[in-house]
Amino acid sequence: MNSSLKFATLAFAFFSAVAGAKTLEVRAGESIQDAIKGASPGDTVLVHPGIYEETVYIDKDDITLRGVIEDGEWPNLEGNKQLNDAILYSGNGFSVEWFKITNYKGNAIMGQAGNNFSIRNNWIIDTGVYGIFPEFGENGLIENNVLSGIEDAAIYVGMSDHIDVRNNRVFDNVAGIEIENSRHALVEGNIAHNNTGGILVFITPGLPIKTSYDAIIRRNTIINNNTPNFAIPGSLVSNIPAGTGMLILASDDVIIEDNIITGNNTAGIIVTSQDFATDVAGDSESDPNPDRIQIRDNVMYDNGNDPVTDVKALMLTQFSTKGPDILAYKSAADAERGSCVSQKTAYRTFGLGDWTECDRATVRAADAVASATPPDSTSRAVASKMLSEPAAPRLITVDANGAELVYQGICAGCHTLNVRMIGPPVLAIQAQYGDDAEALARYIATPEKKRPDFPTMPPQDHLSEAMRIEVARYMLSLSGG
């Protein structure tokens, strides 16, 4: 067995069939959700080609949702710009693959605190705010998907741990791939082209998870990410300048290596603090500065041909009108941050005066895996950031503990405590509702547009009435930095 197949086998071990599992088939004119209702843990739902105009919600563990492609025809989840979400899952051990998903208003595939997930081989076009969006999940694989036309992030890993994002193609989006407030992520072998920004690694202040660290961005092709920013005004990514190949914003311990980064008109790689894109004053627990960034052995050329005004002004201090391959902005340039770059003189740079030369030897991941020797501390010996055993499944109970999980897995993706995102901050919601949890719970189920400067919230009526009240109470009680 070759090393790639061996790894794939190990990675999917936690999706093994349960004794007595069955296969349910759905054909054009039938309902996928009805099949999910009849499924039990361990079952597979096979969906044949056809148009399926529905939202599918999976709250059971160990369900596989698999499309069947026949003569080039896909099963197509179609939102008609009327439905918000195509697939929502809160169950653990969920797998979805081989679907075409088009024309939703909010999300193609959203995880809501489910662990041990696999999202593979899907074709996603114009699904609103996000394409693939696991929120508050642990131990997951996002692989071989194609996504375009997304107005925030095509692949958005939010507040999650131990995630591999591999071999996807993302284009014509605002953000191609975004790793936000997440830890232990591998982003490898992806093609990000013609987005506003290709690959982003973020800390957003105001979220329950305050850190973002241990990310490897390796062997990606990041090219021509010059699409004008068409994000929702006021959202975090609306501040990302067109022409950004890669942006590391406040995250720590990020290794960027063996990538091809070219044709990005503002800069190839930008490393900066949070004040580059957002106001950080309201979250004292969130460190706004990036630490220990390593930029190693990347091929970078033909970047910075038409930089945005602020970057052009910086470069003029070096008597150049061309943007840099690497920009370390504000605190990112400080020596005490512990960042390094290999072959610094090979690139056009700004702000790297205090960065050291990366001097640690590295080895190839394939060599380390094939030799079956324990991987050393270098990033190229790391084949995956996923866990060797499944993460413990999350159990969402209808009480205060369950409400916290639901907030982290659903609400926090749009509502931080005190920083504007797609939705208003929790503090603004508290000012409106006071302690009236019942009123907020009703709004969660059947929202209507109340603020002209925010999009209409999608209904969360898949949550039970009791759970909506618990979540409303939890949100109205939140405080702190």
Q: How far apart are CA 216 and CA 246, in angstroms?
A: 13
C-beta of residue 128 within 8 angstroms of C-beta of residue 156? no
Q: pLDDT tens for residues 93-142?
A: 999 999 999 999 999 999 999 999 999 999 999 999 999 999 999 999 99
For residue 176, give both structure tokens: 């191609």
Q: Do the beta carbons of residue 130 and residue 88 sit within 8 Å?
A: no
Name the amino acid, one letter, at 372.
A
State whether residue 185 is helix, strand or coil: strand
Residue 255: phi and psi, rounded to 5, are: -110, 125
Determine the pLDDT at residue 187: 98
Span between the terminal Cα atoms of the chain, in Å? 51
* Bridge partner list, 157: 179
Low-confidence residues in the chain, pLDDT < 70 = 1-19, 276-283, 333, 335, 360-378, 480-481
**pLDDT for residue 381:** 83
pLDDT at 374: 38
Q: Distance between CA 153 and CA 351 in Å, rounded? A: 28
What pLDDT score does 9 carry?
41
**pLDDT tens, position by position, 428-447:** 888 888 898 898 889 888 88
Per-residue pLDDT, 277: 61
3-state secondary structure of 265: coil
User: What is the separation of C-alpha 76 from the centre of its chain, rounded to a whole number of angstroms?
Assistant: 23
Residue in 303, 217, 219 with CA at minimum distance from that of residue 265: 303
Contact predicate 252/221, CB 8 Å: no
Per DSSP, helices labelled H in 372-464 are: 400-409, 426-433, 437-445
> Which DSSP category does 237 fall into?
G
Record the tokens describing residue 62, joined without a space: 């160990």
Query: What confidence score (pLDDT) does residue 359 get?
Result: 76
HSE-CB for 264 with a 13 A CA cutoff: 35
Q: What is the mean pLDDT of the chain?
A: 87
By residue count, the chain amounts to 481
Q: Are the CB atoms for 291 and 337 separated by under 8 Å?
A: yes
Rounded to 10°, the helix 465-477/400-409 angle is 80
- Is 0.85 topped by the overall pTM? yes
Contact 228, 238 (CB under 8 A): no
Q: What is the pLDDT of residue 372?
A: 37
